[in-house]
Structure 1
Amino acid sequence: MYLVAVLGNLLIILAIISDSHLHTPMYFFLSNLSLADIGFISTTVPKMIVDIPLQRIFFSYYKIVSSILRIPSSSGKHKAFSTCGSHLSVVCLFYGTAIGIYLTSSMSHSPKKMSAAQVMYTVVIPMLNPFIYSLRNKDMKHALRRLQSRAM
C-alpha cells in the first residue's frame, strides 16, 4: 500500500509537470496534495511500523466539527453528489474513522482498533487519493497516456 501511494502520487506530479495543458491552478493544487501525501505517508509509516507491534498509540484525538452542505435544489444536490461521490467517500472514510475512534476511545481501549485507524489515516487514504483525484479526470487520463507513450 505504501508503494502504491508513493508511486501513484509521484505519477500524478510527473504527469502535471510534463503536460503543459495541466499547468492550471487546479492541477497545481493537485500536485501539492500529492506531494503532501508523499511526505505524510513517508514520515508516518516508518514510525507506525515500529509503534503498532509495540501497541503504542501516536494519534491525538480531536472532536470532529461537522459542516452542513447547503444546496437549494434537489437536482443541484444530485449533480453535486454524482460529481463528488468519490471525494465524499474519502472524506467519509477519514471522518468515519475519526468519529469511530472518538466514540469508542471513551468506552474501551482496543489496540487492534487503534492500529486499524492508524492504517486508515496514514496509508489507505493517501493511497486512494491518486485514484480519486486523477483517474476520474479526463485531462489527467490523457496526460498519463501521453506520458506513457513518451516512456515507450
Structure 2
Amino acid sequence: MKSRNQTRVSEFLLLALTEDPEMQPIFFNLFLSIYLVTVLGNLLIMLAVTTNSHLHTPMYFFLANLSFTDICFSTTIIPKMLVSLQAQNQSITFAGCLTQAGFVLVFTTGESILLSIMAYDRYVAICHPLRYTTIMNSHFCYLLMLFSWLTNLGDALLHTLMLLQLSFCTNLEIPYFFCEVVQVIKVACSDTLINNIVLYFAAGILGAAPLSGIIFSYTKIVSSVLRMPSAGGKYKAFSTCGSHLSVVSLFYGTGFGTYISSTFTHSSRETAIASIMYTVVTPMMNPFIYSLRNRDMKRALKNIIRGIPASQ
C-alpha cells in the first residue's frame, strides 16, 4: 500500500457511540447531562475553595487544581462527542485529532501527578504535623503545581510533534470515541518504533513514578496512624485521607480497567466503553466524592448555596 505524507491527511474517523438513530438523542442527552454535572460540580468545588478562608490550605489548593483539571479533561472530550452525535458525523480533522490527543495526554498526566502531590501533602500532614506549615508553604505548593504543568505540557508537546512526523495511509479509523496518542500511532503506516519507545518510556516515568509516590505516602501514613494511641486520632487521620483514596482508586482503577480491556479483548467497542469510564465518569464523580466525605467542604458548599458569606 502506498503511503502518503501526513500533510495530505484531512481527517480521521472516530468510533460511533451507536449506529441506531433512535439511540442518538438518548446518548446526546446523557453525555450532555454528564458534562453539565461535571462542570458545575467542579466549579462549585473551585468556588468554595476560593471564597472560603477556612479552605485556604494546601490540601484544598490542590483540590481546586484537581477540579480545574477535571473540567478541562471533560471539555477536551465530551463537546466533540456531542457535536458528532448531533451532526451524525464521526469525522475529526487531522489538526483537531492531534490537538485532542495532546490535551488528553496533558490532563491524564496532570491528574496522575496531582494525585501524587496530594498524597504527599497528606503524608506530611499526618506523619510530620509540627513541620507541616513549614514544609507545605505557599511557595513550595506553587512550585509543585508549576512542575506539574510544565511536565504535562512538555510531555504532550513531545508526543504531538512526533505524531506530525508520521505518515498515514487510507485506513484512518480510530477505534475510540476520541483521539488518543496510542490509537493515532496504531493507524500510521510509517515506522512507529521511535514513537512507541518514547511513549512507553514516558508512560513508565510519568505513570509509575506518581503511583509509586502514592503507595509510598500511604504506606508511611498507615504505619504512622497505627502507632497512634487514640482511636479518635486514628479515625480523624483516616477520614482526611478517605476522599483522596477514593479518587485515586477510581482514577487508577478505571485506567487499569481500560488497559486490561484493550489487552484481553478483541472488541474495539468494549475497549472504547471502558475508556468512557476513565475519561468521562471519573471527572464527574470526583466532586461528589470530596463533597460527600469532607465535612469542611460540605459546609462551604452549603454556605454557597444558601448565599451565606463564605468566610463565616
Q: TM-score, normalised by structure 1?
A: 0.75
Query: Residues 261 and 271 of structure 2 are in contact (CA less than 8 Å); yes or no, is this contact kept in structure 1?
Result: no
The Cα of 1:75 is off from its aligned counterpart by 2.8
Task: Tell me what 1:75 maps to.
Answer: 226
Mapped to 1, the partners of 2:275 and 2:287 lie a distance apart of: 19
Q: Which runs of 5+ in 1 are unaligned?
A: none
Mapped to 1, the partners of 2:58 and 2:250 lie a distance apart of: 27
Task: Tell me what 1:10 maps to.
Answer: 43
Structure 1 segments of 4+ aligned residues over 6 angstroms from their partners: none
C-alpha spacing 1:20/1:42, structure 2 compared with 1 (3 Å): same
C-alpha spacing 1:16/1:97, structure 2 compared with 1 (3 Å): closer
Which of residues 41, 45, 52 is equivalent to 1:19?
Answer: 52
SS at match of 1:129: helix
Q: 61-70 vs 113-122, which deviates more?
A: 61-70
Task: Tell me what 1:30 maps to.
Answer: 63
Is 1:109 the equivalent of 2:272? no
Task: Tell me what 1:92 maps to.
Answer: 249
Query: Residues 12 and 34 of structure 1 are in contact (CA less than 8 Å); yes or no, is this contact kept in structure 2?
Result: yes
Query: Residues 292 and 298 of structure 2 are in contact (CA less than 8 Å); yes or no, is this contact kept in structure 1?
Result: yes
Identity of aligned residues (%): 54
Which of residues 283, 286, 302 is equivalent to 1:126?
Answer: 283
C-alpha spacing 1:34/1:48, structure 2 compared with 1 (3 Å): same
Q: 130-139 vs 38-47, which deviates more?
A: 130-139
The Cα of 1:82 is off from its aligned counterpart by 5.5
C-alpha spacing 1:104/1:36, structure 2 compared with 1 (3 Å): closer
The Cα of 1:96 is off from its aligned counterpart by 2.6
Write the deviation string for residues 47-103 of structure 1: whole angstroms up to 9, x where unpaired. 34549x956323356566353452437836x85665534433332333233333333
SS at match of 1:106: helix
Mapped to 2, the partners of 1:74 and 1:34 lie a distance apart of: 28
SS at match of 2:79: helix
Query: Residues 9 and 38 of structure 1 are in contact (CA less than 8 Å); yes or no, is this contact kept in structure 2?
Result: yes
Mapped to 1, the partners of 2:306 and 2:255 lie a distance apart of: 42
Query: Residues 94 and 120 of structure 1 are in contact (CA less than 8 Å); yes or no, is this contact kept in structure 2?
Result: no
C-alpha spacing 1:60/1:98, structure 2 compared with 1 (3 Å): farther
Mapped to 1, the partners of 2:305 and 2:299 lie a distance apart of: 10
SS at match of 1:144: helix
Is 1:138 the equivalent of 2:257? no
The Cα of 1:19 is off from its aligned counterpart by 1.8
Task: Tell me what 2:131 maps to.
Answer: none
Task: Tell me what 1:59 maps to.
Answer: 180
Partner AA of 1:59 in structure 2: E
Partner AA of 1:37 in structure 2: D
Q: 120-129 vs 108-117, which deviates more?
A: 108-117
Mapped to 2, the partners of 1:31 and 1:117 lie a distance apart of: 27
Higher RCO, 1 vs 2 (CA within 8 Å, ≥6 residues apart): 1
Q: Which runs of 5+ in 2 are unaligned?
A: 1-33, 91-173, 183-202, 228-233
Q: How many residues align?
A: 149
Q: 5-14 vs 96-105, which deviates more?
A: 96-105
C-alpha spacing 1:101/1:17, structure 2 compared with 1 (3 Å): closer
